[in-house]
């Protein structure tokens, strides 16, 4: 308290007090201090995402968040599937993505180097604001923005390749002819003697190829 003592002008000088600011977490349409939250929210920072070389943002958080499963489908060129605390609906299990406040169905177009942070909302208290759309979890992504200060250039380079680990074993022309004739004989038909069965094309060699990305 400061006594007035008949003065018409009072000058108050405040002392500086430096304190550690609590970590801020994005929740719904706003943000809150992490210590004030009771819900299950996990934050993945940019340095954690960048530490894992991957062209897909979902693959970059694989194994980093408890209760979140990132599963590779095994199909060539298809993105991994993500499940937040299991499968909660028979109609689907894809979570809701919110990128800089905008709802989207996927984040394949995002560059992992452009992501500032990812918040994964996993429990009802933090998902309530999203209603039914948040039934399978919500992933809130904040992208990097320009900052005041020195110009900074980051270069991140990686290379990888995709190959088929276990190919299907196939027969050559002579082996196929032998098996085909055995089938005909077992069915009571005459064997088929075709002398031009000389092609030995393995179509897997023609269709599949190594891919660098």
Provide, rounded to the nearest whole percent, the portion of the chain with pLDDT above 90.
Answer: 0
- Look over the chain and give the mean of its residue pLDDT values, rounded to a whole number: 75
- What mean pLDDT do residues 122-151 have? 78
- What mean pLDDT do residues 176-198 have? 81
**pTM for the full model?**
0.54
Among the listed residues 67, 202, 89, the one whose alpha carbon sits nearest the alpha carbon of residue 139: 67
Question: Is residue 28 over pLDDT 60?
Answer: no
What are the structural domains of the chain? Answer: 24-143 (2.170.130.10), 161-212 (no CATH)
Question: Is residue 6 over pLDDT 70?
Answer: yes
Question: Is residue 213 over pLDDT 80?
Answer: no
174-183 as b/e, with b when 16 or more CB fall inside 10 Å?
A: eeebeeebee
Question: pLDDT digit string (tens) for 66-86?
Answer: 778 887 776 666 677 788 776
pLDDT band at 149; cut points 50, 70, 90: confident
C-alpha triplet 164, 213, 111: angle, nearest 5°: 125
Among the listed residues 79, 92, 71, the one whose alpha carbon sits nearest the alpha carbon of residue 134: 92
């Amino acid at each position: 308290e400061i006594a007035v003592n008949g003065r018409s002008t009072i000058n108050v000088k405040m002392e500086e007090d430096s304190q550690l600011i609590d970590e801020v977490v994005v929740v719904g349409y706003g943000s809150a201090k992490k210590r004030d939250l009771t819900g299950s929210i996990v934050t993945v920072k940019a340095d954690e995402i960048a530490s894992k070389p991957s062209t897909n943002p979902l693959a970059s958080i694989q194994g980093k968040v408890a209760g979140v499963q990132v599963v590779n489908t095994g199909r060539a060129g298809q993105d991994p599937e993500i499940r937040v605390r299991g499968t909660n609906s028979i109609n689907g299990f894809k979570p809701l993505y919110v990128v800089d406040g905008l709802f989207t169905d996927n984040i394949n177009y995002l560059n992992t180097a452009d992501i500032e942070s990812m918040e994964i909302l996993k429990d009802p208290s933090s998902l309530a604001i999203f209603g039914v759309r948040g039934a399978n979890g919500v992933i809130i992504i904040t992208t990097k923005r320009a900052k005041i200060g020195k110009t900074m250039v980051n270069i991140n380079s990686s290379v990888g390749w995709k190959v088929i680990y276990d190919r299907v074993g196939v027969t050559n022309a002579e082996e196929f002819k032998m098996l085909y004739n055995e089938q005909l004989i077992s069915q009571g038909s005459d064997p088929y003697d075709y002398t031009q069965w000389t092609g030995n094309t393995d179509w897997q060699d023609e269709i599949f190829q190594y891919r660098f990305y």
